């Protein structure tokens, strides 16, 4: 199974959100589903970095904020397949995402 198939097996999201997630993950949709946690967190980090770099984050940023949230949620859903990895992944995700606030 690949990341794109793994995402398709989740409960359906609204079409605009699904399209944005697919756009952010892009070429990584063909990676093995075992890599989903990293792929999705990487996408969330890239998009959040773009969001915090914007001069303002008004209503036009709502879809991107929802996409970051969905990517992180999906990443941890994927990580739950290996419960022993949850704590280290959570620490890594908090470190990576929070570092963007100081950038």
Give the pLDDT confidence of 54-80 residue by residue, as tens digits: 887 778 889 999 999 999 999 999 999
Give the pLDDT confidence of 23-35 residue by residue, as tens digits: 999 999 999 999 9
pTM strictly above 0.85: yes
Cα dihedral: 18, 19, 25, 31 (round 10)? 70
Q: Which domain holds residue 25?
A: 3-102
CA distances from 85 to 5, 25, 80, 99, 103 (A): 22, 22, 8, 21, 27
Number of domains in the chain: 1
């Amino acid at each position: 199974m690949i990341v794109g198939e793994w995402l398709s097996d989740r409960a359906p999201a609204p079409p605009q959100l699904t399209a944005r997630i697919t756009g952010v993950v892009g070429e990584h949709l063909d990676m093995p589903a075992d890599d989903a946690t990293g792929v999705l967190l990487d996408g969330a980090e890239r998009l959040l970095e773009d969001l915090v770099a914007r001069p303002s984050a008004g209503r036009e940023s709502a879809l991107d904020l929802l996409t970051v949230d969905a990517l992180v949620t999906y990443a941890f859903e994927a990580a739950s397949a290996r419960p022993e990895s949850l704590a280290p992944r959570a620490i890594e995700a908090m470190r990576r995402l929070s570092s963007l606030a100081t950038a």
